[in-house]
Structure 1
Amino acid sequence: MLDTTGELQLIDVGEYTTEAGVTLPISIAYQAWGEFRGDNVILVEHALTGDSDAATWWEGLVGSGKALDTDRYCVICTNALGGCMGSTGPSSARTNGVWGSQFPALSIRDLVHAEAKALSILGVDRVHAVVGGSMGGARALEWAALYPERVGAAAVIAVSARASAWQIGIQTAQIAAIEQDPAWRGGDYYRFAPPIEGLKTARRIAHLTYRGELEIDERFGTDAQENENPLGPYRDPDQRFAVQSYLDYQGTRLTERFDAGSYVTLTEALNRHDIGRDRGGLNKALANIQVPIFVVGIDTDILYPYHQQEHISRNVGNLLGMAKVSSPVGHDAFLTETRQMDRILRRFLSLLDA
């Protein structure tokens, strides 16, 4: 039975076979808010290092009277397969310890198939809408392609129809940073100290793609970190520019809440994202999607540039609408620009309900 108290719940899905052919038992964690009335579910998909607590990380948008109104809708958010916030992932227990290096590689389609099985167990056979940004946007688009009979509409935010070579390049650099940390131990570090330095470096690289170049420069410029001097006679890693300190802080914050194995697994899933694979190519696959699609992009997004959302809008089979977030923040604007996102999501739902 679907629990809508907002508390973290776990669903035993049973055996799941990945797209690449590996079978393993899985569980999916979820949280839900608002009365379930059968046809009023909005499924929210989190980004790479997100979790099922959408009421917290999208607090300005999920709740009573907000754009994703829990007085009207039942809002459900799962933790992606491969994650570390309740769903089965590399850090999950198995018969002999944890999965570690034996956890299989996943695709975005795997994440969606596993989630679909979990929702079926809960008695959710159809969702009014699926909404997601970044990795969540890739999942939303795949929901429309894989399960058109179960999706009323999809809001696809700040993502592309497939991983570009640039995205794969920047993401494999992050994976390499983790794998080259001696503490990684081939992925089997769970009985030892985790690869904290590798994960910190990966996050530093990633965070620069999440934020806008102008925003970073306006905030930090070439300022030195307080009481430090990066212009001394010899290079000293303890004497930093202010932006270095900021990125160090972001890296440390992530290591306090996220598992390096899950970071590698989900980043690899993003590398494998391609809506056109085995569907006759990118544009044909998009044209065949008849679920109403609402596309949202960000004008300063470095990671998923706006032209990639324009490509989706030009080629998708049933375009419900398109919107642009204007912000110096960059990719993360779908999380930080609450006022704009509120208007956009209300417009999406009004078009869907018209």
Structure 2
Amino acid sequence: MSLNNPTRSKQNNHTISIGPFTFESGETLDDVQLAYERFGPDDAPVVLVCHALTGNQYAIGSDQEPGWWAGLIGQDQPVDTSRYQVITFNVLGGCHGSTGPASCPKGSKRAYRLDFPAVTIRDMVHAQYRALIKLGIHQVHAVAGGSLGGMQTLEWGLLYPLFMKQLYVLAATPYLSDYGIAFNHIGTRAIKDDPAWQQGDYSSNHHLQGFELARMAGMVTYRSGTLFQKRFDRSKSEPLSYNIQSYLDYQGEKIKDRFDANSYLYLLEAMNHHDIGRGRDGWKKACKQYQAKVNTISFQHDLLYPKELIDAFSNEVPGSEHFHVETDYGHDGFLVEFNHWGEWIQRKINKGG
């Protein structure tokens, strides 16, 4: 039994070409690459993990730079990489090694930018399926993801219903609400109305103040008012500057170091159009098409993906189970406090349902 670095001793990153790929729009790119992280025994059951909006393939990461789900996945963690092989792809349209707006077509030194085809959640899933088949993987034990990753997980269960045994959908709903679309629109306008954006042909992320504002608006929806009050409590670092303001400024600056603004726009648009009922006679009828066991998790104070809508979805899916997490973190609850909900996943994933 060989191992794909299950102990996180160093970063485990790979890239695979899936060749020509045709998007839902009908446009085709000649050569699409997907970057991915892979840990665990080569012959172990596969758990496919899907990342959120500004996430990447480093769900586990390294000892020096732990990934965004390092508290959930790893040796002796709820998803144990001595027992499971875990694969995470950077999404199609992303900016951490997969083909996206910041990538250059083969033989060109100029990035696609806005010439990149519109990408949908279903495009992301189809691309990952192609990559898994190329890796020799024809079935997985489970697919899991939160937020944008949860949207992908929902589509995985409908596009390839027999490809997995289990689905874990965290902080995601069968379609994006008008409230979610509204905040995405604010972020989109902030970026596009920035003169430095230059119709997508900007020279550097670091010139984009609109990108900072987009991230700040997003951060307000990812956390709860309760958490902000407990953490900051109107505290000040200077007489006229509140710490909550400094925190948002920091988050706005930080996003420019690790994410491409055009990719951000493309993924926001993909989220806006997420609807499992599209072309399937509505989301309630789509719910009856799941063959894998569906498990959903909601988080208290999640403004974007409320418990009520996740509950409604879960109730329509035969055999689905739902778990609600009491937390002050709101939507970002799926990235923290793994001790509050990781055991629930561990019990279910290990018993096969």
CA distance in 1 between counterparts of 2:208 and 2:79 reads: 36
CA distance in 2 between counterparts of 1:185 and 1:195 reads: 11
Aligned counterpart for 2:214 among listed residues 202, 218, 226 = 202
Aligned counterpart for 1:81 among listed residues 82, 88, 92 = 92
Q: How far 1:341 moved relative to its partner?
A: 2.7
Q: Deviations 1:307-326 (Å, cap 9, x if unpaired)?
A: 1210111111341x211111
**1:291-302 equivalent positions in 2, closer than 5 A:** 291-302=292-303
Please report the RMSD computed on the Cα atoms of aligned residues, expressed in angstroms: 1.6
Asked if the contact 2:187/2:218 (under 8 Å) is kept, the reply is yes
Return closer, same or farther for 1:195/1:172 CA change in 2, 3 Å cut-off: farther
Q: Deviations 1:82-120 (Å, cap 9, x if unpaired)?
A: 111110111001225110110111111111111111111
Asked if the contact 2:3/2:42 (under 8 Å) is kept, the reply is no
Q: Which residue of 2 aligns with 1:306?
A: 307
Q: How far 1:149 moved relative to its partner?
A: 1.6
Q: Which residue of 2 aligns with 1:23?
A: 28
CA distance in 1 between counterparts of 2:291 and 2:162 reads: 10
Aligned counterpart for 1:109 among listed residues 116, 122, 132 = 122
Asked if the contact 1:289/1:318 (under 8 Å) is kept, the reply is no
CA distance in 2 between counterparts of 1:265 and 1:332 reads: 21
Q: Provide structure 1 residue ranges, at least 5 long, that are not aligned to the other structure.
A: 230-239
Q: How far 1:59 moved relative to its partner?
A: 1.1
TM-score, normalised to structure 2, is 0.92
Return closer, same or farther for 1:167/1:331 CA change in 2, 3 Å cut-off: same
Q: What is the aligned length?
A: 338
CA distance in 1 between counterparts of 2:37 and 2:136 reads: 15
Return closer, same or farther for 1:247/1:349 CA change in 2, 3 Å cut-off: same
Return closer, same or farther for 1:193/1:203 CA change in 2, 3 Å cut-off: closer
State the one-letter code of the partner of 1:270.
M
Q: Which residue of 2 aligns with 1:234?
A: none
Asked if the contact 2:140/2:164 (under 8 Å) is kept, the reply is yes
TM-score, normalised to structure 1, is 0.92
**1:33-72 equivalent positions in 2, closer than 5 A:** 33-37=39-43, 40-55=45-60, 56-72=67-83
CA distance in 2 between counterparts of 1:251 and 1:338 reads: 26
Q: How far 1:328 moved relative to its partner?
A: 0.6
Q: Deviations 1:130-180 (Å, cap 9, x if unpaired)?
A: 010111011011000100121111000001100111111111111111111
Q: How far 1:222 moved relative to its partner?
A: 3.1
CA distance in 1 between counterparts of 2:316 and 2:71 reads: 32
Q: Provide structure 2 residue ranges, at least 5 long, that are not aligned to the other structure.
A: 6-10, 61-66
Q: Which residue of 1 aligns with 2:180?
A: 167
Q: How far 1:194 moved relative to its partner?
A: 4.8
1:245 corresponds to 2:250? no
CA distance in 1 between counterparts of 2:302 and 2:340 reads: 15
Aligned counterpart for 1:217 among listed residues 226, 229, 234 = 229
CA distance in 2 between counterparts of 1:246 and 1:99 reads: 33
CA distance in 1 between counterparts of 2:298 and 2:351 reads: 18
Percent identity over the alignment? 39
CA distance in 2 between counterparts of 1:130 and 1:184 reads: 36
Q: How far 1:350 moved relative to its partner?
A: 3.5
